[in-house]
């Protein structure tokens, strides 16, 4: 817990610094300026973040000791917990049954505020939500799997005044919690996965084994979760009232012998329990009979069924062992368990919020102090001047883009479906560029010059003509540089834009697709309406070549006959091609017209007003940004010394925040180191 302790100490140091700081005394000299009006309120929020982070660290340092209750499914884990927690015949807190009942882990904590039991579901992100007891029992039993989406586990807080009198008060005092787990070996693999994720959190294990099932089958389900655990174990043999009915104790007449047999089997099948068995920590119970206050052997002696079916023995063993070992158990806490990771996340989140609030507060402080210095005398007005230029350019280019959009719309509508598409699109691109450039050169220079004169030039002149200690020669040079920058901006904006307002679509793919379709339709028509010619073409392809080869082998006249057949083949091919061309001509013509219509539609969609604006505006914004940077650079060198004189104003506040800032940096470093350990 050293990592939490260091964070806690650092946060407490910040709390002391913040409590001693009197912001009003530091800021009273600025009261009349209107600055820092909400700074006191934000500083109060910062103090609250400090308090919340301190509380998260304290909860992490004092996190509970978890006692896990594990075992095979239907071996009485939940019944055992119900018997341990509640008086006989009272309502069960945890659902029980003859088959798999517990579908999700439940943390059972204790409190003594006398305000009733509390039930919460905890999401994977650590957020807790209160739920009614009936809803908890329904969900934890897995009856409605869809309701468990996003739920990691359940947490209940039991009021010790409603439990067995005084038994669990020590657990509330020592911050000890029990964990009811899904049964092992059940039909749901998710049960074992859930337990595997919790196994690292247990500091003590209560392992429930049914009296008639201390065997290899059960051991094969339970042992994988015990052999890697170094935690102390308290074995509890459940359903002990039924030992005489079990074949496992056949031939045994006394209960003492039966118990000895059970102990031997525990050592044999569950090696991890050997030490606990030899230390005498095994308890034999009948939780159901305790809850119902029944006696199945009314005619037999109950010499070993003392103390209400030995439930009190389990309580005594558990509470005494924990009370004596609590410090050791706390030191065994796993740093990589799911709950510990959630604790780390909450601590990191609280500390991150604290650091973020401080950094924002410190930034605001410096910004407000900066605004009280001479720099604000021109910067605020200069910002307004830049905004006026931006607004004027926006209005002017909106007008130009509207005109360009109208031109594009008219020219696209006039595209001929029978003319050369590529040539028409090229002409539209050229004409739109010329028209846009003409509109820019026609009105923009005069409007922009007037705006620059009334905004940037006037603001800078007003500032430079004040009584600030700047040499007149430097003032003259700076004014000239500003005039040059304004002239360059006007010239740059009057040049053609880097991107054409009109973006011509590509129609090659559409044309190829449509022509291919037209030719395919022509082939279908050829083979369906001109069957004789189609058969001749097929014969020319598949039969005539074979005949030509056969004829060429005839003596004397073979070559001449073969040549004649080849000419016949060429004639048939020519007739087929001519016929296909004649049939497909109208289809190809329609395909070309269809392509033209598609290109026109694409041209409309690609060159709407918003599209033209997206192509033109970035170039304008970039040139205006360059202009702003040039103006600032011109002024910076001479005005910087004036600003330096205002630094003295913030020394006291900087001193106040420097100590807190050094502590914040420690927290950021610790949180960064802690976050690397979260997988």
Q: Residue 30: which residues within 8 A CB-CB, separation 6 or more?
A: 36, 368, 372
For residues 233 and 68, the answer to whether their CB atoms sit within 8 Å is: no
Q: Report the length, in residues, of the chain.
A: 679
- What is the per-residue pLDDT for 59? 66
- What is the per-residue pLDDT for 215? 92
Chain segment 215-246, per-residue pLDDT in tens = 999 998 888 888 767 778 889 998 888 888 88
CA dihedral 637, 639, 643, 644 (to 10 degrees): 50
Q: Which of 381-385, 440-444, 517-521, 663-667 has the lowest mean pLDDT?
A: 517-521
Structure-token match 């720099």, residue found: 375
Strands 283-284 and 233-238: parallel
- What is the per-residue pLDDT for 663? 75
- What is the per-residue pLDDT for 15? 74
Supply the pTM of this predicted model. 0.47
- What span, in angstroms and rounded, lies between the C-alpha atoms of 361 and 23? 12
Reading the block at residue 134, the tokens are 């009936």
- What span, in angstroms and rounded, lies between the C-alpha atoms of 619 and 51? 50
Highest mean pLDDT among 271-275, 438-442, 517-521, 661-665: 271-275
Reading the block at residue 453, the tokens are 């004169």
Reading the block at residue 207, the tokens are 């392992």
* 397-401 contacts at long range (C-beta below 8 A, 24 or more positions apart): 397/613, 397/616, 397/617, 397/620, 398/613, 399/439, 400/436, 400/439, 400/440, 400/444, 400/616, 401/501, 401/609, 401/612, 401/613, 401/616
- What is the per-residue pLDDT for 28? 56
Looking at the DSSP assignment, which residues form a beta bridge with residue 65?
A: 176
Q: Is pLDDT above 90 for 613?
A: no
Q: Residue 217: which residues within 8 A CB-CB, separation 6 or more?
A: 185
Chain segment 657-667, per-residue pLDDT in tens = 666 777 777 77
Looking at the DSSP assignment, which residues form a beta bridge with residue 442?
A: none
Confidence of residue 675 (pLDDT cuts 50, 70, 90): low
Q: What is the DSSP string of 601-627?
A: HHHHHHTSHHHHHHHHHHHHHHHHHHH
Q: Which of 164-173, 411-420, 602-611 has the lowest mean pLDDT?
A: 164-173
Give 489 or 190, the one with higher predicted confidence.
489
- What span, in angstroms and rounded, lies between the C-alpha atoms of 300 and 379? 99
Q: Which of 175-189, 310-324, 619-633 has the lowest mean pLDDT?
A: 310-324
Name the architecture of domain 64-332: 3-Layer(aba) Sandwich (3.40)
Chain segment 470-512, per-residue pLDDT in tens = 667 777 887 888 888 888 888 888 877 667 888 888 766 766 6
Give 269 or 63, the one with higher predicted confidence.
269
- What is the per-residue pLDDT for 24? 58
- What is the per-residue pLDDT for 187? 59
Confidence of residue 304 (pLDDT cuts 50, 70, 90): very low
Looking at every residue in the chain, the average pLDDT score rounds to 73
Mean pLDDT of 266-287: 86
Q: What is the 3-state secondary structure (H, E, C) of 194-222?
A: HHHHHHHHCCEEEEEEEHHHCCHHHHHHH
Question: How many CB atoms neighbour CB 378 within 10 A?
Answer: 20
- What is the per-residue pLDDT for 189? 45
Angle, helices 421-452/558-606, rounded to nearest 10 degrees: 20
Report the SS3 class of residue 332.
coil
Q: Is pLDDT above 70 for 391?
A: yes
Chain segment 491-500, per-residue pLDDT in tens = 888 877 667 8
- What span, in angstroms and rounded, lies between the C-alpha atoms of 380 and 375? 8
Q: How wide is the angle at C-alpha 241 spanned by C-alphas 264 and 71, nearest 5°? A: 60
Strands 65-71 and 176-180: parallel
Cα distances from 216 to residues 264, 332, 511, in angstroms, run: 13, 30, 77
Q: Which of 26-30, 364-368, 534-538 has the lowest mean pLDDT?
A: 26-30
Confidence of residue 550 (pLDDT cuts 50, 70, 90): low
Q: Is pLDDT above 60 for 29?
A: no
Reading the block at residue 333, the tokens are 């806490």
Give 452 or 97, the one with higher predicted confidence.
452
Q: Residue 635: which residues within 8 A CB-CB, separation 6 or more?
A: 378, 460, 478
Q: Residue 176: which residues within 8 A CB-CB, separation 6 or more?
A: 64, 65, 67, 110, 170, 322, 326
For residues 642 and 374, the answer to whether their CB atoms sit within 8 Å is: yes
Give 347 or 654, the one with higher predicted confidence.
347
Q: Is pLDDT above 70 for 194?
A: no
């Amino acid at each position: 817990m050293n990592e939490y302790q260091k964070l806690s100490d650092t946060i407490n140091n910040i709390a002391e610094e913040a409590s001693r700081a009197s912001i009003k005394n530091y800021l009273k000299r600025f009261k009349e300026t209107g600055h820092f009006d909400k700074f006191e309120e934000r500083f109060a929020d910062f103090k609250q973040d400090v308090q919340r982070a301190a509380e998260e660290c304290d909860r992490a340092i004092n996190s509970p000791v978890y006692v896990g209750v594990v075992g095979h499914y239907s071996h009485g884990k939940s019944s055992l917990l119900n018997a341990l927690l509640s008086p006989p015949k009272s309502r069960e807190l945890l659902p029980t049954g003859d088959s798999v009942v517990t579908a999700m882990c439940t943390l059972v904590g204790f409190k003594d505020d006398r305000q009733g039991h509390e039930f919460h579901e905890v999401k994977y992100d650590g957020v807790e939500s209160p739920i009614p007891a009936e809803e908890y029992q329904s969900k934890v039993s897995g009856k409605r799997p869809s309701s468990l989406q996003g739920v990691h586990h359940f947490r209940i807080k039991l009021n010790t005044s409603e439990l067995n009198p005084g038994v669990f008060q020590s657990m509330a005092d020592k911050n000890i919690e029990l964990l009811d787990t899904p049964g092992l070996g059940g039909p749901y693999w998710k049960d074992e996965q859930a337990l595997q994720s919790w196994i690292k959190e247990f500091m003590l294990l209560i392992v429930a084994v049914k009296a008639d099932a201390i065997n290899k089958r059960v051991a094969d389900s339970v042992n994988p979760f015990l052999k890697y655990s170094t935690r102390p174990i308290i074995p509890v043999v459940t359903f002990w009232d039924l030992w005489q009915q079990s074949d496992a104790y056949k031939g045994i007449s006394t209960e003492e012998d039966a118990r000895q047999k059970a102990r031997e089997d525990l050592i044999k099948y569950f090696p991890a329990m050997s030490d606990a068995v030899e230390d005498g920590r095994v308890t034999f119970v009948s939780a159901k009979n305790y809850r119902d206050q029944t006696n199945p052997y009314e005619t037999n002696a109950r010499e070993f069924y003392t103390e209400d079916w030995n439930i009190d023995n389990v309580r005594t063993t558990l509470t005494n062992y924990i009370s004596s070992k609590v410090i050791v158990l706390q030191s065994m806490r796993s740093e990589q368990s799911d709950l510990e990771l959630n604790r780390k996340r909450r601590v990191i989140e609280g500390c991150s919020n604290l650091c973020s609030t401080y950094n924002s507060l410190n930034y605001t402080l410096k910004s407000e102090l900066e605004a009280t210095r001479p720099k604000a005398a021109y910067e605020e007005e200069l910002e307004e001047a830049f905004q006026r230029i931006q607004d004027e350019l926006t209005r002017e280019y909106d007008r130009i883009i509207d005109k360009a959009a109208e031109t594009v719309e008219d020219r696209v509508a006039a595209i001929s479906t029978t003319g050369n598409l590529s040539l028409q699109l090229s002409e539209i691109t050229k004409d739109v560029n010329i028209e846009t450039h003409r509109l820019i050169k026609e009105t923009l220079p005069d409007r922009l010059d007037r705006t620059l004169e009334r905004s940037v030039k006037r603001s800078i002149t007003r500032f430079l003509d004040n009584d600030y200690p700047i040499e007149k020669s430097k003032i003259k040079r700076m004014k000239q540089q500003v005039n040059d920058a304004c002239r360059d901006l006007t010239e740059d904006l009057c040049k053609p834009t880097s991107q054409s307002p009109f973006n011509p679509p590509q129609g090659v793919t559409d044309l190829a697709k449509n022509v291919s379709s037209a030719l395919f339709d022509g082939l279908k028509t050829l083979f369906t309406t001109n069957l004789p010619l189609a058969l001749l073409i097929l014969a020319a392809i598949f039969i005539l070549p074979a005949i030509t080869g056969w004829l060429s082998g005839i003596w004397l006249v073979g070559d001449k006959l073969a040549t004649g057949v080849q000419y016949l083949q060429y004639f048939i091919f020519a007739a087929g091609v001519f016929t296909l061309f004649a049939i497909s001509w109208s289809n190809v013509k329609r395909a070309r017209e269809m392509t033209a219509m598609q290109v026109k539609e694409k041209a409309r969609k690609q060159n709407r007003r918003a599209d033209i604006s997206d192509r033109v505006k970035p170039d304008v914004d970039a040139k205006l940004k360059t202009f702003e940077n040039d103006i600032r650079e011109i002024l910076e060198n001479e005005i910087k010394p004036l600003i330096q004189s205002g630094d003295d104003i913030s020394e006291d506040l900087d001193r106040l925040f420097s100590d807190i800032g050094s502590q914040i940096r420690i927290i950021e470093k610790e949180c960064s180191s802690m976050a690397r350990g979260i997988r």
